[in-house]
């Protein structure tokens, strides 16, 4: 059956198609229980006002019925889409929370974690990879400077040694040579 009821302005409007409850406590002389034939939202149900009575019809023109059915289907699809959207939104919020935790863990890995483990052999746990790499590079640079300085000193010492050897040879060449005699006698 089709129910028409007064709206807030007192105008009679179509409420929808209902089924009549026929149970022992659902049907009385002055009252009855009506069940909607479509899925009703709480907001829609709250807007109904049956206090001033309703008009009930068993049939309505098919054109109006088709439009109402189409609107009900649209409403139903919209409610389902909204439910799916809310579910996806909640899923995305959970994924974002997980991603934020992973991001914070990566930041702690890179920039340091004041609450991180204090391991002497692994300073990156406390100061972060970036700082640990910078410190290691500074140590490497200091070692390279020391190695370069040692290499230059060795190069200078090698050059000085070579010069000393050459000067000793030159002095030895200028000095008088002892006479060497070769014996021709047979033994």
Residue appearing with tokens 């974690």: 113
Identify the band that residue 165 occupies on the pLDDT scale cut at 50, 70 and 90. very high
**Buried b vs exposed e over 149-173: b needs ≥16 C-beta within 10 Å?**
eeeeeeeeeeeeeeeeeeeeeeeee
Number of domains in the chain: 1
The answer to the question of residue 35 being in a domain is yes
- Residue 15 located in a structural domain: yes
Residue 75 lies in a domain: no
Average pLDDT, the chain: 86
- pLDDT of 5 > 90? The answer is no
pLDDT of res. 164: 94
CA distance 94 to 106: 18
Tokens matching residue 122: 């692994």
Domain membership of residue 24 (yes or no) is: yes
**Structure confidence by residue, pLDDT tens digits, 45-95:** 888 888 888 888 888 877 777 887 888 889 889 989 999 999 999 999 999
Q: Is 11 part of any domain?
A: yes
pTM for the complete prediction? 0.50
pLDDT of residue 187: 59
> Does the residue 119 lie in any domain?
no
Q: Is the pLDDT of residue 182 over 80?
A: no
Give the C-alpha distances (Å, rounded to integers) separating 100 from 89, 95, 113. 16, 9, 16
Examine residue 102 and state whether it is found in any structural domain, yes or no: no
- Tell me whether residue 111 is in a domain: no
With a cut of 70, say whether residue 179 has pLDDT above it. no
Q: By residue range, what is the domain housing residue 16?
A: 2-60
Q: Is 48 helix (H, G, I), strand (E, B) or coil?
A: coil
% of the chain with per-residue pLDDT over 90: 33
């Amino acid at each position: 059956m089709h129910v028409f009821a007064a709206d807030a302005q007192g105008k009679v409007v179509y409420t929808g198609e209902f089924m009549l409850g026929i149970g022992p406590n659902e049907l009385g002389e002055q009252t009855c229980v009506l069940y909607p034939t479509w899925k009703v939202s709480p907001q829609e149900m709250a807007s109904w006002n049956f206090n001033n009575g309703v008009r009930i019809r068993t049939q309505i023109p098919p054109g109006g019925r088709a439009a109402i059915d189409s609107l009900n289907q649209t409403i139903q699809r919209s409610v389902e889409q909204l439910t799916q959207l809310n579910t996806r939104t909640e899923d995305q919020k959970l994924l974002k929370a997980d991603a934020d935790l992973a991001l914070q863990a990566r930041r702690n890995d890179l920039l340091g974690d004041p609450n991180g483990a204090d391991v002497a052999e692994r300073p990156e746990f406390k100061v972060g990879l970036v700082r640990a790499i910078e410190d290691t590079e500074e140590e490497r640079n200091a070692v390279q400077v020391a190695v370069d300085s040692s290499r230059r000193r060795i190069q200078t010492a090698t050059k000085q040694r070579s010069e000393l050897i050459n000067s000793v040879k030159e002095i030895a060449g200028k000095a008088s040579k002892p006479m060497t005699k070769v014996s021709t006698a047979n033994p």
